[in-house]
A and B are shown apart, each in its own frame.
Chain A
């Protein structure tokens, strides 16, 4: 089946630094990828839709200058959390569409100290 990977799987950083998370579709091309955030015991919340070759579409309440998304190729989308703060600590999950199914990556655990 279609596989989506994320890197890194976990990251710890100091407050004020920036962190980049990569999302790759390993065996298929994805013109559209999605970034979600999941807090403990909560459901996944869509942050933004990443479109290859164009600007991402952000959900209401998500700061586009803080969460920079780049979808430079059909197999790679990156999410950069700029000037991270402790409240940005969360589980970030990407997904990519293949056929009529959305395949999720394994997630990245971000902890901001």
Chain B
């Protein structure tokens, strides 16, 4: 069964601290893995995308890693800011000939950054 599991479910950190979110997946055939940020009451916004051959991808203070052998990914947030408070969703795309509808969503990690 194609699944994406994220941990932790929720996380509270102090402003300025770093944190790492985890994503494990059992999805086949694999096309790519994305991390999205979803603010409360808003749609998801893409942070990073990685294909099978990519190990790491950065976007400002966000750094994503991918280990295709163990089927694990992580999202590291550096020097957190209050505006980083959101849900972070790991999404794996199935490789079905280019269809963009075959997305498997994790349930997300709800991050709260406190002053």
Contact = CB atoms under 8 A, between A and B. Distances in A.
Interface of A: 4, 6, 32, 34, 41-46, 49, 91, 93, 95, 97, 100-107, 109
A106 B43 contact: yes
B100 A32 contact: yes
Contact of A93 (B43, B49, B106): B43
B97 interface: no
Interface in B95-115: 100-101, 103, 105-108
B105 A44 contact: yes
Nearest to B49: A101
B1 interface: no
Interface residues of B, number: 17
A23 to B, nearest CB: 10
Nearest to A32: B100
Interface of B: 32, 36, 41-46, 49, 89, 100-101, 103, 105-108
Contacts of A109: 41
Given A32-B100, A32-B101, A101 B42 contact: no
Contacts, number: 44
A32 to B, nearest CB: 7
Contacts of B89: 43-44
B103 A104 contact: no
B40 to A, nearest CB: 10
Contacts of A45: 105
Contact of A107 (B43, B46, B103): B43
A102 B107 CA distance: 18
Contact of A104 (B32, B43, B101, B107): B43
Q: Which of B36, B101, B106, B107 neighbours the largest number of chain A CB atoms within 10 Å of its CB?
A: B101
B68 to A, nearest CB: 18
Contact of A41 (B45, B49, B101, B107): B107
28 contacts: A4-B43, A32-B100, A32-B101, A34-B100, A43-B89, A43-B105, A43-B108, A44-B89, A45-B105, A46-B101, A46-B103, A49-B101, A91-B41, A93-B44, A95-B43, A97-B100, A101-B46, A102-B46, A102-B100, A103-B46, A104-B36, A104-B43, A104-B44, A105-B43, A106-B42, A106-B43, A107-B42, A109-B41
